[in-house]
Amino acid sequence: MNCPTCGHKNPPNSKFCLECGRGFALPCAQCGAELPAAAKFCNECGASLVAESRKLKAESQTISLPTNNLTTNNPSPRSYTPKHLADKILQSKSALEGERKQVTVLFADVKGSMELAEQLDPEERHAILDRFFAILTDGVHRFEGTVNQYTGDGIMALFGAPIAHEDHAQRACYAALHLRDALRRHGDEVRRTHGLSLAARMGLNSGEVVVGAISDDLRMDYTAQGHTVGLAARMEQVAEPGTIYLTEHTAALVTGYFTFRDLGAFTVKGVRAPVGVFALEGLGTARSRLDRSRARGFSRFVGRTAEMSVLDAAIEQALAGHGQVVGVVAEAGTGKSRLCWEFAQRCRARGIPVNEGQCLAHGQMVPFLPILQYQRASFGIVEQDSPQAAREKVAGRLVLLDDALRDDLPLVFDMLGFPDPERPAPRMDPEARERAQAGLLRRIMQARSRREPAVILLDDLHWIDHASASVLEVLVEATAGTRSLLLLNFRPEFHAAWMQRSYYQQLPLHPLGPEAVDELLGELLGTAPSLAALRDTIRQRTGGNPFYVEEVVQALRDQGTLVHDDGGPPRLVRPVTDLDIPATVHDLLAARIDRLGEHAKLLLKTAAVIGKEFSLPILEQVVADAPIDTPLPDLLRTPTASEFLYETSLYPHAEYSFKHPLTQEVAYESLLRVRRARIHAAVARALAAGETERLDERASLVAHHFEAAGEALDAARWYARAAEWAGMNAPVEACRHWERVRGLLQADATGDGAAEIAFKARARLPAASFRVGGMSEEAAEQLFEEARALADRIGTARARFYAIASYMVTLSMRGKVGQARQLGAEMLRVADASGDNDLRCWGLWSTSLNEWVFGELSDALRRVHEAIQLFACGVSESSPPLGNVPHAAAHHFRGLFLTECGHLGEARASFEHGREVLQRLGATEMVAWCEAGLARVATFAGDVEAALRHAGSALDGVERVGSSFGRVYVYWILGLVLARRGAATEAIRHLTGAIDLARANGVGIYLVPGALGDLADARLDSGDVPGARTAVEQAFVVLGDWKGARARLELARARMLRAEGDVAAATAALDRAHEVAETTGMRVYLPYVHVERAALCERDGQLDDARRQPEQARDLYCEMGASANAARLAAHIEEMTR
């Protein structure tokens, strides 16, 4: 085995050269695993290293080379690379495991060298070729490419590696055009002086390579991905002398920047499909990405007249001082962004400023990106601005807005990502900083609104990161009362609490109708009858999605299937039997990273794996085994000075943050998967060994790193810990974490504790999901089957019990209460057979709800009382199936049941006890449940103002948590309170919201009959008798054989029938209500029966009964402790007796 660096002969299978120490390991292009140099296939992933990849070494294959040291048999690249390029390359030397890079490969060779050898003496031939190679080398270096090989009659050059350039394809094309012209002049000189023909040909292709080691003499090892290099060589071979051929891969990257001649599709040996080939001819009109987009041009804007009218009306409202928030919602590609862009252009034409922010598909890794974009745009900051220039712009404009904001400049600088080192922002804890920033954003927005109106456009909210989502809530709130329009767009799966705001309106964007699609296709394809079938096919396949329509047509053009003859309409050159919807691919590279020194670059990439923010101690642990002698703080000064990073804290230890999140992502993606996995594992272990008091908070981060490292069991264990920590207060996060556990550990997972963790995910997911909403019956049943199978495998009573309990809760929530009761009975049998008091206690209180729904109020109370007694005897507080606080939950249920009994004082005490426990534990959602229960008690007691206070607290809690079930419950109670307060319109809105949310998400269905009864009353109060009838009829359909809400609904029916004038039917309904209330023990409704009877008697002139019924109601109110209602009735009775 000869070393390609020094030529030393080494024994077979050597890993390193005996003479110079150069490594022979071959990195797999697919997975990055290290392999012997002679390997043909990867023993980690099975990828072919011969057929699919090509290993390249910087050896000479050589002819006589130029005189400046290039005529040796094995020249060093250092000898022919300019110093400034050599320095850049050496600065970018990476760890031996290498990195991925997007590159463009250029091959160039000379035609006519044999004639030179035959007709010229060696000295003349040498001089001509010396000049030829000098031109080639200089031309490549001029555009910061590197000559990687001398190939006999020419060279192979790389653009994008080892010096990274995001415009590598453009540079290669610029270099090729420069070489073509320079070599043409050299050929003309040879023809003039020697009478011989000398011409060069070139070929280009773009793709990925995995870069290996770079030695001090600039020799580089790398593995080409697929046919990256082979296709470039083939382009050179098929090119005519004096021409430049490039593949469709390179052409796609530089369209608009250069002009091409389409040569059609070439069949290339070893490549499965024909390859599109183009001849590079000259410069195009584009010099930037914006130029390129403008050159391609927008298609006609069609089919959106109605939607544009809505936006026009919204901006007029905003200009009048009534700030508006509009959300444009539609499926991907329907034209959300185009509609918003067109509207923004109209606003700009009117002189209304428009500031934009863009959410990205990797948004959860780029915190605050859309917010920073729009804020920076509002201050006129551009990418090229230095931090000082940016600060000057902000300071000048902010003080002009409101001089009172001058003192807030340090916080603004920090918030926008360019803190002032001389005036740092005040130190404060994260929550305080978040509050301060929120208040500052609100003040800036209001100050700007006083000076001028504005449109804030945020694109693709379905990719918004959590941090930006929090700021967006502040923006929505701050929009009210300003001259601002907050214009948003997103896909249907996006939901947010701020959508309930009165000044928010949602604008659904439907697919284009047939007429609009025909208009668009008419512009793109013309109306020729010969293309009618193609237009029909595109219309059917794209479903009115304008983006798909445009991309299909563009793909047909790129493939050469659809052509435009000079001055003629488009035509097909071959039949179209099928249409593939092409995907848009965007490559993001950060060339500046490669300009760092090797160790600083290693640190930056390692930090990128840790995350956007990282601490020095964690970084030190992760790189502890790296061959780095310089102290890390000293090394970090380089990327900090280059403004890749900035220090966020010095005490108790140094903490850093990436200045721009995209820098982090590019650095991360450049690492090979095997190397990334090792770093992730090291980060996970460093975090897990860190501050123990913060491990619960960091659990999801530890899990993420273990998952990225491929260590599924450890990842699942930490995701489970994170889910338990999220618990009741972050149901969306808890649900996401349990889903990750389930995905990581299948039902047959093995390993220490794997079955138990896999089971826990399946037992906990239903509870987390009913708070989030949206789990289908099929998904819930599948979870139950998986949980039951795992419970049998574990073999404990607790596992069997929890598997049943989890599914029982799901069925109750979905309104399948009869099935839930059956499972509840099975649960209690398992608990009793086990002799486990914990299980019996949990079973008693959790099944009591089903008994209440069925009207078995005494049994429900008996169960919850026994559970509370067991808690008093020391039963465990843990509750795996629901993840809540069983003792407090039992008191909440007891409060519900006692309210129905009419024992309002005891009910209030039970809710207050539960609330006190839950407040100490920080269980926000369950505190809201208790507040809702107290609101209901206060409503029945007649204290509507107290009820409103409790309901407001409950609403605040569930909105903060984001629980679907919590919203259903609290919206219902708030609607009830508002109806009793006389605010029928608001009551109807909240009650309708509760019912719709319950039905849409399949949660809290057992609450729907009661909510429909209250909705019927509210509609009656608003004068909508037909609407009341509809609500009552729907309520009885949902109720079925449940008796828990029957007395309430018979009351609603009686009121509705009285309003319709059917006294007999109303009386019969009241009789049924009275009977059900007595037989079920739900006596809280009895006073209302008497009040309604009094109304009927008064209507019929039965004055004695009209006086007697209120007296009975008053007595019942007094008995229940509803003193305010009793006092009102007493006053009414007194007035009647006068």
Task: Write the CATH number for 209.
Answer: 3.30.70.1230
143 with 38, same domain?
no
The answer as to whether 111 is a domain residue is yes
Domain count, the chain: 6
Cα–Cα distance measured from residue 495 to residue 1000, given in angstroms and rounded to the nearest whole number? 13
pLDDT per residue over 73-116, tens digit each?
445 555 555 555 555 555 555 433 467 777 899 999 987 656 66
Counting residues of the chain whose pLDDT is more than 90, the rounded percentage is 36
- Contact call for residues 757 and 792 (beta carbons, < 8 A): no
70: pLDDT strictly greater than 50: no
Q: Which two tokens stand for residue 1079?
A: 């037989």
Mean pLDDT, residues 260-286 = 89
Pair of tokens at residue 1073? 């209500």
Bridge partners for 2 per DSSP = 9
Structural domain boundaries enclosing 560: 514-572
Task: Determine contact, residues 212/49, Cβ cutoff 8 Å.
Answer: no
User: Please, are residues 815 and 1038 in contact by the beta-carbon 8 Å criterion?
Assistant: yes
Residues 355, 259 share a domain: no
Q: Which helix (H) or strand (E) holds 128?
A: helix 122-142
For residues 1056 and 357, the model is more confident at 1056
Handedness of CA 465, 470, 472, 473 (dihedral sign): positive
Six-digit token string for 2: 């000869």
CATH number, domain with residue 1084: 1.25.40.10
Tell me the per-residue pLDDT of 316-327, one tens digit each, with 9 for 90 and over. 999 999 999 999
Q: Are residues 9 and 90 in the same domain?
A: no
Picking from 285-294, 606-615, 824-833, 835-844, which range would have the lowest pLDDT averaged per residue? 285-294
Tens-digit pLDDT profile for residues 787-815 = 999 999 999 999 999 999 889 988 888 88
Note whether residue 696 is domain-resident: no
Evaluate whether residue 729 is within a structural domain: no
Asked whether residue 84 falls in the same domain as residue 228, the answer is: yes
CA distance 1133 to 1111: 7
Per-residue pLDDT at 34? 56
402 is a domain residue? yes
Helix crossing, 837-853 with 857-872: angle to 10°? 160
Residue 172 pLDDT level (bands cut at 50, 70, 90)? very high
Helix 336-349 and helix 305-319, axial crossing angle in degrees, nearest 10: 50
Q: Where are the beta strands (DSSP E) in 535-644?
A: 562-564, 570-572, 613-615
Measure the CA–CA gap between 1093 and 1055, rounded to whole angstroms: 10
Tell whether 1127 is covered by a domain.
yes
17 and 70 inside one domain: no
CB contact at 8 A, 1117 and 1087 = yes
Tokens of 148: 């990687």
What pLDDT does 600 receive?
Answer: 82
Q: Does pLDDT of 1090 surpass 80?
A: yes
At 714 the pLDDT is 93
Length in residues, the chain: 1138
Q: Are residues 1092 and 1113 in the same domain?
A: yes
Q: Which pLDDT tens digit goes with each residue over 1026-1041?
A: 999 999 999 999 998 8
Q: Are residues 64 and 158 in the same domain?
A: yes
Provide the 3-class DSSP secondary structure of residue 247: strand
Q: For 918-945, how does the pLDDT look when each residue is reduced to its tens digit (9 = 90+)?
A: 898 888 889 999 999 999 999 999 999 9
Q: Are residues 92 and 187 in the same domain?
A: yes
pLDDT digit string, tens, across residues 1094-1127: 988 888 777 777 788 888 999 999 999 998 888 8
Q: Output 494 or 247, whichever has higher pLDDT.
A: 247
Residue 591: name the closest of 660, 666, 656, 665 by CA: 666
Q: Does residue 332 form part of some domain? A: yes
Task: Kindly state the average pLDDT of the residues 816-821.
Answer: 92
> Higher model confidence: residue 1000 or residue 491?
1000
Last residue of some domain: 883, 909, 925? 883
Does residue 26 surpass a pLDDT of 80?
Answer: no
**Among 220-229, 530-539, 1086-1095, where is mean pLDDT lowest?**
220-229
Contact by Cβ (8 Å): 820, 848: no
Name the nearest CA neighbour of 604 among 628, 581, 586, 588. 628
Among 837, 865, 883, the domain boundary falls at 883
Contact 1003, 773 (CB under 8 A): yes
Q: What CATH code is carried by the domain that includes residue 835?
A: 1.25.40
Is 687 contained in some domain?
Answer: no
Q: Is the pLDDT of residue 1052 over 90?
A: yes
The DSSP secondary structure of 1009-1051, one letter per residue, reads: HHHHHHHHHHHHHTT-HHHHHHHHHHHHHHHTT--TTHHHHHH
Amino acid at 779: A
When the pLDDT of each residue in the chain is averaged and rounded to a whole number, the result is: 82
Q: Does the structure show a pLDDT above 90 at 1024?
A: yes
What number is the average pLDDT over the span 707-733? 86
- In this predicted structure, what is the pLDDT of residue 225? 52
Report the Cα 1046 to chain-centroid distance in Å: 44
Bridge partners (DSSP) of residue 458 are: 357, 488
pLDDT digits (tens, 9 = 90+) for 139-161: 998 888 888 888 778 889 989 87
To 10 degrees, what angle do helices 754-772 and 712-726 make?
A: 40
On whether both 414 and 457 belong to a single domain, the answer is: yes
pLDDT-above-70 percentage for the chain: 82
- Tracing tokens 């007296």 back to the chain, one arrives at 1111
Regarding whether 366 and 222 lie in a shared domain, the answer is no
What pLDDT is attached to residue 1138? 65
Rounded to 10°, the helix 817-834/837-853 angle is: 160
At 424, the amino acid letter reads P
Question: What is the SS3 assignment for 976?
Answer: helix
Q: Do both 269 and 330 map to the same domain? A: no
* pTM metric for this prediction: 0.57
Asked which of 837, 859, 883 is the last residue of a domain, the reply is 883
pLDDT band at 716 (very low <50, low <70, confident <90, very high): very high
Dist CA 643 CA 520 (whole Å): 46
Q: What is the mean pLDDT of residues 447-456?
A: 85
Are 1044 and 854 in contact by the 8 Å Cβ rule? The answer is yes
* Amino acid 7: pLDDT: 46
Residue 943 and residue 947: Cα distance in Å, rounded?
6
Angle at CA of residue 217, ends 215 and 218, nearest 5° = 65
Q: Kindly state the average pLDDT of the residues 652-667.
A: 73
In terms of Cα–Cα distance, which of 582, 516, 526 is closest to 554? Answer: 582
Give residue 96's pLDDT: 35
46/66 same-domain check: no
Q: Does any domain span residue 72? A: yes
Tokens of 422: 């001389």
